[in-house]
Amino acid sequence: MTRKMKLTRALVDKIAATIPDPGPMPDVEALNTEAAIAARHADALAARPPGPFWVFAFGSLIWNPGVPVEARCAARAEGWHRAFCLGPDTRYRGNPDAPGIMLSLAPGGQCNGVALRLPEADIAAHLMTLITREPPVPPVWLDLTSDDGPIRALCFVAPTDEIVRTSGLSLPQIARQIAPAVGMFGNMPDYVLNTVEQLEAAGLHDDMLWELQALLADELAAL
C-alpha cells in the first residue's frame, strides 16, 4: 500500500530555495582547510578494503550523490540509526537566523539505506568530490548487509569529538527549528522531502522520517 506524504512540494516552496553564502561556520572552519580535506582523502584511500568501491547513502547521497554511480542496492548498517543530530548548520542548509540540522548516524539500532558502487576509473577524484561536499568529518568504512551479501562501504558519520552535534531535541522541536532553515545548498524542508521520497521509492520506510515529514508539513502550513 502506497503511503501518502503530508509534506508536499507546495509546502516546501514556501521557503526560499537557496540564499547567498551566509559565511563560514567557526566550529568547523579548521576542518575545511585544504590540508584537512587532503588528509581525510588520503586516510580513506589508505584504509580502502579490496574489491569495488562502495559508499553508504542514508540521506542526500541517495538522491544527489554528485558522483557517477554504476550500481546501487538496498543495504543495512547494524549498530547505527539515522538521526537529525548534525548541527547547528548555519551555512549549507541553514543560516545564523534559522540554523538547520543535518542527518547523520548515531550509535545503536540499525539503518536501512542504499549502497552506491562508484566506477573505478577516476575513483580518487570522485572521492575528493564527496569529501569536499559532505560534512567535514573523517569518513569511516562500515560493514553492511544486503540481499547480495556483505558490503564494506565508506560512510560519512560524524563522531562527537570532530564536529558539533545537536542532541536532546524531540521531533516536534526539530521540525520547528528546521522548517524555516535555508542555506547556500538549499532548504531543510526540501532535504527532508527528497530523502523520504527516495527511501519510500526504494521500499525503505523510516518511521522517524515519516513522523518528521508530517510534523514539518504542519509547521510549514502554519507559516
Q: Is 200 a catalytic residue?
A: no
What is the Cα–Cα distance from 86 to 84, expressed in whole angstroms?
6
Which of these, 190, 152, 186, lies nearest to 21 by C-alpha position?
186
CA-angle at 113, arms to 157 and 193, nearest 5°: 95
Characterise 13 by phi-psi region: left (phi > 0), alpha (psi -120 to 50), beta (else). Answer: alpha
Which of these, 82, 65, 90, 88, lies nearest to 211 by C-alpha position?
82
List strand residue ranges (DSSP E) for 10-99, in order. Answer: 53-57, 71-89
What is the Cα–Cα distance from 185 to 85, expressed in whole angstroms?
18
What is the Cα–Cα distance from 179 to 214, expressed in whole angstroms?
12
What is the Cα–Cα distance from 117 to 144, expressed in whole angstroms?
13
- Phi, psi for 150 (deg, rounded to 5): -70, 150
- Which three cell numbers, joined as nine digits, stand for 6? 503530508
Catalytic residue among 134, 162, 211, 219: 134
What is the Cα–Cα distance from 204 to 122, expressed in whole angstroms?
30
Instruction: Indicate which residues carry an active-site annotation.
Output: 134
